[in-house]
């Protein structure tokens, strides 16, 4: 069981505290993605220095390598990766659908071929719960099917209802204990009635939190916000709400305005490894020659150690030479940028100025422009 408290609200946006077995998470929160028990290019100490409070691991990847039982034998994921703070694990459903080769979906679960060596596995709601228990993650996710976008109404309805039956089995298999929790995942594609049917089913089962899944899969931002407009309001206001796989700063701000409390996305680390840096005025492409002789920091308004100690010119050099340090420094800066954004969001909601901050940020950020 998880303890969640709402501390302040402004319209639909809210600030809260989520207490877990391994620490407290201040919401709205951005979770760093550590799929294979590591946030790529960062040590745990570097992750913590950015203000990150919770890291995401993944059932699919960790069941294949190094294996859930092996992680358990090392004392669980926290000790295995030297991260003593909260961990959320994805159920593996999305990766089974997107990464594995030949797969067969039945009522029992999904039989799939590993993307590593082609070995065959069965992942079911019960198996997903068992793996997440062995990993010792604080926040577990119900096993679900994330359908591709776009999809017909009939295919979406069939997929959503299967996910709801799997959600009930996930709930039955989850071993509840203090400081640990299970989130249900709302599915239903872009269809309002299916989304609301999914919400009702999950609320009837009763979870410690609720995630909105099946978004950020290629649909326009306006459609994502439309789905959130009617979905989030139907969820239990006393439980945390998690928008999976999102996203860009403008996505996060729009979702916070609609009542979302938790986010995750690979964007800060993936962008760092590809030479891109998030700044208060947009995204910098460090491959561009215009940065070669620039003696300034990535972002004059940023307090991270990268901006305090390294110039754009040096970072351009590292990226141009494909040096590992370039990926490390840019990823650290990007994650700090995201965590600072979340801190600013929490402060402005508490002060009742979030809507003004939202508008001014987007005006300055120029809708995620690249420079």
pLDDT tens for each residue of 16-45: 999 999 999 999 999 999 999 999 999 999
Catalytic site includes residue 264: yes
User: Who has greater pLDDT, 368 or 98?
Assistant: 98
Q: Quick one: pLDDT at residue 152? A: 97
Catalytic site includes residue 261: no
pLDDT of 148 above 90? no
- Cβ–Cβ contacts within 10 Å for residue 82, how many? 11
Q: Quick one: pLDDT at residue 296? A: 98
Edge-to-edge strand ranges of the sheet holding 110-113: 103-105, 110-113, 120-123
pLDDT of 100 above 60? no
Position 371 confidence tier, pLDDT thresholds 50, 70, 90: low
Whole-angstrom distance, CA of residue 100 vs CA of residue 123: 12
Whole-angstrom distance, CA of residue 259 vs CA of residue 141: 20
pLDDT of 368 above 60? no
Q: Which of 136, 208, 261, 264 is catalytic?
A: 264
Q: Quick one: pLDDT at residue 103? A: 84
Position 227 confidence tier, pLDDT thresholds 50, 70, 90: very high
Q: List, in order, residues 6 or more apart from 52 with CB less than 8 Å away.
A: 30, 31, 32, 335, 339
Average pLDDT, the chain: 95
Q: Quick one: pLDDT at residue 62? A: 97
* Residue ranges of domains in the chain: 3-265, 272-365
Q: Which of 90, 144, 208, 261 is catalytic?
A: 90
pLDDT tens for each residue of 172-214: 999 999 999 999 999 999 999 999 999 999 999 999 999 999 9
pLDDT tens for each residue of 316-354: 999 999 999 999 999 999 999 999 999 999 999 999 999
Position 278 confidence tier, pLDDT thresholds 50, 70, 90: very high
pLDDT tens for each residue of 283-319: 999 999 999 999 999 999 999 999 999 999 999 999 9
Tokens (6 digits) for 141: 């996710």
Give the CATH architecture of domain 3-265. Answer: Alpha-Beta Barrel (3.20)
Q: Quote the Cα angle for 361-366-371, to 5°.
A: 125
Please, what is the angle between helix 354-365 and helix 324-351, to 10°? 150
DSSP 216-263: SSS--HHHHHHHHHHHGGGS-TTS-EEETT---HHHHHHHHTTT--EE
Q: Quick one: pLDDT at residue 196? A: 98
Q: What is the mean pLDDT of residues 210-223?
A: 95
Q: Could you give the 3-state DSSP secondary structure of residue 333?
A: helix
Q: Quick one: pLDDT at residue 126? A: 98
């Amino acid at each position: 069981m998880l303890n969640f408290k709402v501390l302040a609200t402004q319209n639909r946006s809210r600030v809260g505290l989520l207490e877990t077995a391994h620490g407290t998470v201040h919401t709205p929160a951005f979770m760093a993605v550590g799929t294979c028990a590591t946030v790529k290019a960062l040590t745990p100490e570097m992750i913590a220095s950015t203000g990150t409070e919770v890291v995401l691991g993944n059932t699919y990847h960790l069941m294949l390598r190094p294996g859930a039982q092996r992680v358990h034998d090392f004392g669980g994921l926290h000790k295995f990766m030297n991260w003593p703070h909260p961990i959320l694990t994805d159920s593996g459903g999305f990766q089974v659908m997107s990464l594995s080769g030949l797969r067969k979906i039945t009522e029992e679960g999904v039989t799939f071929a590993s993307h590593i060596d082609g070995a065959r596995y069965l992942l079911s709601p019960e198996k997903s719960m068992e793996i997440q228990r062995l990993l010792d993650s604080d926040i577990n996710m119900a096993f679900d099917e994330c359908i591709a976008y776009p999809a017909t109404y009939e295919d979406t309805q069939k997929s959503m209802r299967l996910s709801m039956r799997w959600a009930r089995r996930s709930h039955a298999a989850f071993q509840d204990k203090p400081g640990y929790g299970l989130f249900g995942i709302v599915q239903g594609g872009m269809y309002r009635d299916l989304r609301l049917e999914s919400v009702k089913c999950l609320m009837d089962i009763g979870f410690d939190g609720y995630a909105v899944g099946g978004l950020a899969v290629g649909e326009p931002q306006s459609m994502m916000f439309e789905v959130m407009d009617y979905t989030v309001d139907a969820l239990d206001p006393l439980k945390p709400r998690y928008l999976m796989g999102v996203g860009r700063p403008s996505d996060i701000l729009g979702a916070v305005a609609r009542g979302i409390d938790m986010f995750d996305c690979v964007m800060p680390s993936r962008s760092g490894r590809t030479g891109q840096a998030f700044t208060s005025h947009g995204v910098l492409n460090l491959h561009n020659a215009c940065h070669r002789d620039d003696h300034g920091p990535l972002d004059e308004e940023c307090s991270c150690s990268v901006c305090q100690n390294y110039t754009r010119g040096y970072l351009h050099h590292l990226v141009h030479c494909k040096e590992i340090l370039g990926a490390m420094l840019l990823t650290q800066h990007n994650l700090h940028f995201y965590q600072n954004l979340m801190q600013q969001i929490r402060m402005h909601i508490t002060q009742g100025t979030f809507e003004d901050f939202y508008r001014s940020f987007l005006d300055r950020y120029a809708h995620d422009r690249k420079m």
